[in-house]
A and B are shown apart, each in its own frame.
Chain A
């Protein structure tokens, strides 16, 4: 009798094992991409790899090739839809995706198609539903994390990215995004770890070196940053963001003479427009360093920085110091309008906050110029609350704003808070904190100190 019971138990255990294992085996099969063309599959996989390397143009080309090889390749169409900048192609793909017969697709492909068909408002719901049934699906996690990122739901996005990395530790874009999220929250060590891991996994990609260079430039480790950025450019000379980050380093270091060679390289590998913008920024910075605040208007390059609202903090400071109050007013008004627009016109919340921070910052500078350090401090605080270290540019603004806040606090007699603010900056970027007194001489109201 006991022997029979043992046999029954063992049989039941075997059946349970099979019952548990079978769906998993089937689930593994469901991860395949639905196409009958091996060539299309190869092209598609190349596109995924390129996308993972952040070579988006290459990725788009590969996906386009996959669609050509298999016109019914739904997943390739969805990926291409995400990357194409051609509106005609975009519309065509949308139409094709609308007509896809999802019955022959696996669950993940169905999810991607449904997501592509849906309006932006419903995408989070669709993703949530898919993740509920496939909590460890890499694509589901990646897309859900991206949606949370867009909404600046850092905790959620971070958790999703981390879960994704548990599932697939080598999903480098997740590392990249997680690194930027850590950077935005001033968790620089974590960010560096993510970027370095990214660089380790994909040493032949430009992006991880660029991300790492951007981070290191913000932290004042300029040589390391330059090395990483040069490495990125050595891999992909057309990786244009790296030129911008090199210019940023030059600005951080107060070396306007370093800008022109970088601009010249950018002109070769990127676009003339970009090179022109970089040179314009170089001219402004050189004049600023030379305390020749009227130079843009005197030498006629004032207009090279673009339209009001896009001309940047440096232009504003120069105008303010040069007494070009019309330009100052126009910039403030343009920023105020941009803030309003960002609240109503569908900007991402991150971009809106950046504009708000910029707006508060320039108004703070004006108050400082006008000799009202207390009001300036309040505005700088507001700017500080909104700005983050999301990128090197925004981080540079945040650090600059904090040092101006310290200056305003100092002028309003709040020495302790001023010292604390300077210490915060020093902890992040000691090099920048060290050269700030020189900059402060060129700050609004600085000459009166």
Chain B
């Protein structure tokens, strides 16, 4: 049968059961003429007196339990409904002749009809119990409409209602008696199978029941249906066989509250098998909370139903005495109570119930006040007339006493309630706080992630949790449920709204939270089918860190306001922990990088020669100061010509820091290597150009300057590739620029670079200054460049040898930049034709 139809049938059945029960109650309360006879149920066509209401007309007429009413009002009775019609013809106060069948034959008595009142305190207790059971079942059904176990539990509740309200109803004569009693009989036929069926699928179907996707699904389903059919068919068959034997074979069955004893044995057997199944389920359940809930239900069912079996089945069967049917009702109360308690406390059947403390506390307060009021009334009653009660101070003192005692007692009761009802919630809150503390103490993000996606679901009883962290402007799933998308858009308005709210919100509410964002609506639609129910935000004061997605719970605890507030704090702690861990990681990485740069800087410094050789009659000084730890500028000396002269080469790599340093090292290595075989600067540059071009660093060119003493000793040969013009300061203090060569592209810019060396005459006392653009581009704090003119002025005003000139230029730059780090690497090479020797340089 399709599920929807079965579900509707179950609903209709429950509705009918409720209608029958209400009908029964209403009928009992209607005023009608009544003789005071309570009939035995289920004795078709026989009106056997079960009991007689004390003081009623029947009692006064001498009708006794065991009598059978054969006729009323001069009419032989065919049924109790017939009797009802006959009585309905009379008024309250009429006297009606009854024909009784007794052990010694028929006897006629006259019965005075009174106002009807059937039912007794135990019966009304049974009604309360029945409605309580049904209320629990209805609640379960409403909360879990699709859950098969909930549907069957609802049926069980409806059948219990019928059994307790209709079956145990004291029968009078009304047609409604027959109706409700037969409905009650139906309950007795269905109740055992329903009961067992419930325990076969609660809390989860036993292995006999096939699961979707089972390869052997069809065969297992057939077996399962066969089992269920047998379960449901057996009780009616036993009932009918017993009745059939009674009617046709003359085998008189023992009747227990109107039903054949065999039916009660079947009920007992079903209950025992059901309890065994439940025990097995409890044992096999891994979730400790679920196990506690099942164990509670097992205990309630066991202690509720065993007395039922003992009193209703075993005792009358063994001792051959009709039980007091209501004696079994008191323990039976345990069954709905334990179910309700297990649902509230352990979320049985995946039902979440929020019992508001304020409500419970109010009830407790009212209860305590009522107890004191009763106590006050009792004391008043006992002390009535005494001197004590006559005192005006008595009520005041008593009221004071009550007020003093009220609070302690209320507190004590509330503590007990908290302990029993809210213990799990308290434990949960404590667990979340503990988790928050653990997270806050972490500087490693991995435990934080693990706590959020692994420990938190266990604490809350979630199906899953997932953590998304921001990366490159998107949210990337860092851990958690793999069925969720690997990436999600980073929606700043959502994060802002969540951060403003300060706690996670249900998925269904995020669209309302950011009403104008279609992207948020799309995100909600995207996540809805995945089972995500709660969305939480991880945001630090500095940035948006990520998102936490939580599923619904597997039962137990509702993620209500209190829990969400706790989760908000937890996620805040997690965000801070992740942010802190990131910062720590970055700092560590930076420190490592700085250390590595320092190493690289020292290595780079080692590349720069400490002593430069230029040639006889020449002095040379050079400096290379990197703007960062490592730089792209360098200078070196290379063999030049065949006369043993050396060429000074100074370079400037486009780019700074590590990248520039690497290219610089590559250029340095290429020049050194090529110079071994090619001393001609033009060839040297051409080959170096090809090699640097081959590095693929298309944006990293190398500007080079090559200067060597000319063969005639009267000047210099120079070649500039991308470097600024050389400056020559004459002994008179004038400064001139040497002409630029016709081709001066930096190395590495084009594959086929052409370079032409130039010669310039240098007079004794002249100083030739080569420099990188970092000199002229040094910036003052206000952004002004040091510039060519200022360099020329400084050079013109400088005195001393190359070393002194470089020192003065550097001092001028430092003064200009006011001590700030240079914008670019600075390289200065000063060569003086002064007849001096070689000068060591300050490297950087």
Question: Which residues of chain A have a CB within 8 Å of any CB of chain B?
Answer: 2, 6, 165-166, 169-170, 189, 192-193, 196-197, 200-203
Q: Is the CB of B75 within 8 A of A189?
A: no
Q: Is the CB of B4 within 8 A of A170?
A: no
Chain A CB within 8 A of B454 CB: no
Interface of A is mostly: helix
Given known contacts A192-B105, A196-B106, A2 and B4 CB-to-CB distance under 8 angstroms: yes
Q: Is the CB of B2 within 8 A of A200?
A: no
> Whole-angstrom distance between the alpha carbons of A201 and B74 in the complex?
4
Q: Is the CB of B106 within 8 A of A201?
A: no
Distance between A178 CB and nearest chain B CB, rounded to angstroms: 12
Q: Is the CB of B2 within 8 A of A201?
A: no
Chain A CB within 8 A of B41 CB: no
Q: Is the CB of B74 within 8 A of A200?
A: yes
> Whole-angstrom distance between the alpha carbons of A184 and B74 in the complex?
27
Q: Is the CB of B5 within 8 A of A200?
A: no
Distance between A150 CB and nearest chain B CB, rounded to angstroms: 26
Q: Is the CB of A201 within 8 A of B105?
A: no
Chain A CB within 8 A of B159 CB: no
Chain A CB within 8 A of B838 CB: no
Q: Is the CB of A169 within 8 A of B105?
A: no
| Interfacial chain B residues near A200, Cβ < 8 Å | 70-71, 74, 76, 97, 99, 106, 108
Q: Is the CB of A189 within 8 A of B105?
A: yes
Q: Is the CB of A169 within 8 A of B78?
A: yes
**Could you say which of B2, B70, B77, B97 contacts A2, with CB atoms under 8 Å apart?**
B2
> Whole-angstrom distance between the alpha carbons of A166 and B79 in the complex?
11
> Whole-angstrom distance between the alpha carbons of A202 and B71 in the complex?
12
| Interfacial chain B residues near A193, Cβ < 8 Å | 101, 105-106
- 29 pairs, A vs B, C-beta closer than 8 Å: A2-B2, A2-B4, A2-B5, A6-B5, A165-B76, A166-B78, A169-B75, A169-B77, A169-B78, A170-B76, A189-B105, A192-B105, A192-B106, A193-B105, A193-B106, A196-B105, A196-B106, A197-B70, A197-B71, A197-B76, A197-B99, A200-B70, A200-B71, A200-B74, A200-B76, A200-B99, A200-B108, A201-B74, A203-B97
Which chain B residues numbered 87 to 109 have a C-beta less than 8 Å away from chain A? 97, 99, 101, 105-106, 108
**Could you say which of A6, A166, A189, A203 contacts B74, with CB atoms under 8 Å apart?**
A203
| Interfacial chain B residues near A165, Cβ < 8 Å | 76
> Whole-angstrom distance between the alpha carbons of A197 and B101 in the complex?
10
Distance between A405 CB and nearest chain B CB, rounded to angstroms: 30
Distance between A367 CB and nearest chain B CB, rounded to angstroms: 41
Query: What 6 A-B pairs have minimum CB-CB distances, sorted nearest first?
Result: A169-B76, A196-B106, A200-B99, A200-B71, A170-B76, A169-B78
**Could you say which of B2, B5, B78, B106 contacts A197, with CB atoms under 8 Å apart?**
B106
Given A170-B75, A201-B75, 10 other A-B residues pairs in contact with their CB atoms under 8 A: A2-B2, A169-B77, A189-B105, A192-B106, A196-B99, A200-B71, A200-B76, A201-B71, A201-B76, A202-B74
| Interfacial chain A residues near B2, Cβ < 8 Å | 2
Binary per-residue interface labels of chain B (56-90) against chain A in the complex, 1 for a CB within 8 Å, 0 otherwise? 00000000000000110011111000000000000
> Whole-angstrom distance between the alpha carbons of A165 and B76 in the complex?
9
> Whole-angstrom distance between the alpha carbons of A150 and B76 in the complex?
27
The interface size of chain B toward A, counting residues with CB under 8 Å, comes to 16
> Whole-angstrom distance between the alpha carbons of A91 and B70 in the complex?
44
Residue of A nearest to B82 (CB): A169
| Interfacial chain B residues near A203, Cβ < 8 Å | 74, 97
> Whole-angstrom distance between the alpha carbons of A170 and B101 in the complex?
16
> Whole-angstrom distance between the alpha carbons of A344 and B76 in the complex?
42
> Whole-angstrom distance between the alpha carbons of A197 and B72 in the complex?
11
| Interfacial chain A residues near B105, Cβ < 8 Å | 189, 192-193, 196
> Whole-angstrom distance between the alpha carbons of A196 and B105 in the complex?
9
| Interfacial chain A residues near B5, Cβ < 8 Å | 2, 6
> Whole-angstrom distance between the alpha carbons of A165 and B78 in the complex?
9
| Interfacial chain A residues near B106, Cβ < 8 Å | 192-193, 196-197, 200
> Whole-angstrom distance between the alpha carbons of A192 and B106 in the complex?
9
| Interfacial chain A residues near B101, Cβ < 8 Å | 193
Distance between B251 CB and nearest chain A CB, rounded to angstroms: 21
Residue of B nearest to A195 (CB): B106
Binary per-residue interface labels of chain B (1-14) against chain A in the complex, 1 for a CB within 8 Å, 0 otherwise? 01011000000000
Distance between B133 CB and nearest chain A CB, rounded to angstroms: 30
Residue of A nearest to B70 (CB): A197
> Whole-angstrom distance between the alpha carbons of A169 and B77 in the complex?
7
Residue of B nearest to A202 (CB): B74
| Interfacial chain A residues near B4, Cβ < 8 Å | 2
Distance between A219 CB and nearest chain B CB, rounded to angstroms: 12
Distance between A172 CB and nearest chain B CB, rounded to angstroms: 9
| Interfacial chain B residues near A192, Cβ < 8 Å | 105-106
> Whole-angstrom distance between the alpha carbons of A193 and B2 in the complex?
57
Residue of A nearest to B74 (CB): A201
Distance between B8 CB and nearest chain A CB, rounded to angstroms: 9
Distance between A26 CB and nearest chain B CB, rounded to angstroms: 23
> Whole-angstrom distance between the alpha carbons of A196 and B108 in the complex?
9
> Whole-angstrom distance between the alpha carbons of A2 and B2 in the complex?
8
> Whole-angstrom distance between the alpha carbons of A2 and B77 in the complex?
46
Distance between A256 CB and nearest chain B CB, rounded to angstroms: 32
| Interfacial chain A residues near B78, Cβ < 8 Å | 166, 169
Distance between A211 CB and nearest chain B CB, rounded to angstroms: 14
Residue of A nearest to B77 (CB): A169
Residue of B nearest to A166 (CB): B78
> Whole-angstrom distance between the alpha carbons of A164 and B71 in the complex?
17
Distance between B9 CB and nearest chain A CB, rounded to angstroms: 10
| Interfacial chain B residues near A166, Cβ < 8 Å | 78
> Whole-angstrom distance between the alpha carbons of A170 and B71 in the complex?
10
Distance between B750 CB and nearest chain A CB, rounded to angstroms: 78
Residue of A nearest to B104 (CB): A189
Distance between B35 CB and nearest chain A CB, rounded to angstroms: 16
Distance between A136 CB and nearest chain B CB, rounded to angstroms: 13
| Interfacial chain B residues near A202, Cβ < 8 Å | 74
Centre residue among A196, A200, A201 by max chain B CB count within 10 A = A200
| Interfacial chain B residues near A169, Cβ < 8 Å | 75-78
> Whole-angstrom distance between the alpha carbons of A276 and B75 in the complex?
40
Distance between B98 CB and nearest chain A CB, rounded to angstroms: 9
| Interfacial chain A residues near B99, Cβ < 8 Å | 196-197, 200
Distance between B104 CB and nearest chain A CB, rounded to angstroms: 10
| Interfacial chain B residues near A189, Cβ < 8 Å | 105
> Whole-angstrom distance between the alpha carbons of A360 and B671 in the complex?
163
> Whole-angstrom distance between the alpha carbons of A169 and B101 in the complex?
15
Distance between B11 CB and nearest chain A CB, rounded to angstroms: 14
> Whole-angstrom distance between the alpha carbons of A375 and B101 in the complex?
47
> Whole-angstrom distance between the alpha carbons of A395 and B97 in the complex?
33
Residue of B nearest to A165 (CB): B76
> Whole-angstrom distance between the alpha carbons of A252 and B108 in the complex?
29
| Interfacial chain B residues near A6, Cβ < 8 Å | 5
| Interfacial chain A residues near B77, Cβ < 8 Å | 169
> Whole-angstrom distance between the alpha carbons of A111 and B76 in the complex?
28
Distance between A39 CB and nearest chain B CB, rounded to angstroms: 26
Distance between B86 CB and nearest chain A CB, rounded to angstroms: 11
Residue of A nearest to B8 (CB): A6
| Interfacial chain A residues near B108, Cβ < 8 Å | 200
Centre residue among A6, A166, A189, A197 by max chain B CB count within 10 A = A197
Centre residue among A6, A189, A196 by max chain B CB count within 10 A = A196
Distance between A335 CB and nearest chain B CB, rounded to angstroms: 39
> Whole-angstrom distance between the alpha carbons of A192 and B4 in the complex?
61
Residue of A nearest to B101 (CB): A193
Residue of A nearest to B71 (CB): A200
> Whole-angstrom distance between the alpha carbons of A169 and B74 in the complex?
11
Residue of B nearest to A203 (CB): B74
Residue of A nearest to B97 (CB): A200
Centre residue among A169, A170, A189, A192 by max chain B CB count within 10 A = A169
Residue of B nearest to A194 (CB): B106
| Interfacial chain B residues near A201, Cβ < 8 Å | 71, 74-76
> Whole-angstrom distance between the alpha carbons of A166 and B77 in the complex?
10
> Whole-angstrom distance between the alpha carbons of A203 and B71 in the complex?
13
Distance between B41 CB and nearest chain A CB, rounded to angstroms: 21
| Interfacial chain A residues near B74, Cβ < 8 Å | 200-203
Distance between B810 CB and nearest chain A CB, rounded to angstroms: 94
Distance between A413 CB and nearest chain B CB, rounded to angstroms: 41
